[in-house]
């Protein structure tokens, strides 16, 4: 299967959060088992995106923390939502060693910040890269590796 890709420029944190909510709604609906891999520099908007994404699962944005002391946060939603932040990981991160494989599964949607630090990727993956274009602008590229989610229809 061929990957599909969409590219979006957001002009405020609210727009990025709203984009996260749109993608989150799709994955809550039919993304159980999926992993969303976010990459991009500090301040690119990964956590802002996750706040919107989690809101689609019914999690209040304030419950999603960017303080990266919490490596793995688990929410008892259906499907279950797991938020992983690898900011504090030194060097390449191994899903096994971090215990992340224990979370990834058919009943779970897993969203991972700093996924560029992973040494391996799960199979069912959306990769999202965020880049700072100006103080308020972010270029966000969403790649559906297996073209499973038909995001074109969602995010345009």
| Least distance CB 13 / ligand ADP (angstroms) | 4
Measured distance between the N- and C-terminal CA atoms of the chain, rounded to whole angstroms:
22
Which stretches of the chain bind ligand ADP, using CB under 6 A? 10-13, 15-16, 40, 42-48, 66, 113, 136-138
Phi, psi of 85 (to 5 degrees): -125, 115
Minimum distance between the CB of residue 1 and ligand ADP, rounded to whole angstroms? 29
- 86 and 112 in contact (C-beta within 8 Å)? yes
Q: How many CB atoms lie within 10 A of CB 120?
A: 10
CA distances from 120 to 58, 95, 96, 100, 123 (A): 30, 7, 10, 11, 10
Q: Which does 28 bind (CB under 5 to 8 A by kind): Mg ion, ligand ADP, none?
A: none
Cβ count within 10 A of residue 60: 9
Binding of residue 66 to Mg ion (CB under 5 A): yes
Q: From ligand ADP, Mg ion, none, which one binds at residue 10 (CB under 5 to 8 Å depending on kind)?
A: ligand ADP
47 binds Mg ion (CB under 5 A): yes
CA distance 21 to 55: 6
Whole-number Å distance between alpha carbons of 41 and 81: 23
The item of Mg ion, ligand ADP, none sharing an interface with residue 43, based on CB under 5 to 8 Å by kind, is ligand ADP
Q: Cβ of residue 97: shortest distance to ligand ADP, in angstroms?
A: 23
Closest CB to Mg ion: residue number: 47
Closest CB 121 distance from ligand ADP, rounded Å: 19
Contacts with Mg ion by CB under 5 A lie at 46-47, 66, 113
């Amino acid at each position: 299967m061929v990957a599909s890709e969409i590219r979006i420029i957001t002009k405020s944190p609210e727009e990025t959060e709203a984009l996260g909510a749109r993608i989150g709604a799709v994955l809550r609906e039919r993304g159980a088992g999926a992993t969303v891999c976010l990459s991009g520099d500090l301040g690119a908007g990964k956590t802002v995106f996750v706040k919107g994404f989690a809101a689609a699962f019914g999690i209040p944005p304030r419950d999603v923390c960017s303080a990266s002391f919490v490596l793995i946060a688990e929410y008892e939603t259906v499907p279950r939502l797991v938020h992983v932040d690898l900011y504090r990981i030194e060097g390449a991160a191994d899903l096994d060693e971090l215990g992340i494989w224990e979370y990834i599964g058919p009943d779970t949607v897993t969203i991972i910040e700093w996924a560029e630090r992973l040494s391996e990727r799960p199979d069912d993956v959306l990769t999202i890269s965020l880049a700072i274009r100006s103080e308020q602008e972010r270029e966000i590229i969403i790649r559906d590796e297996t073209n499973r989610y038909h995001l074109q229809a969602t995010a345009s």
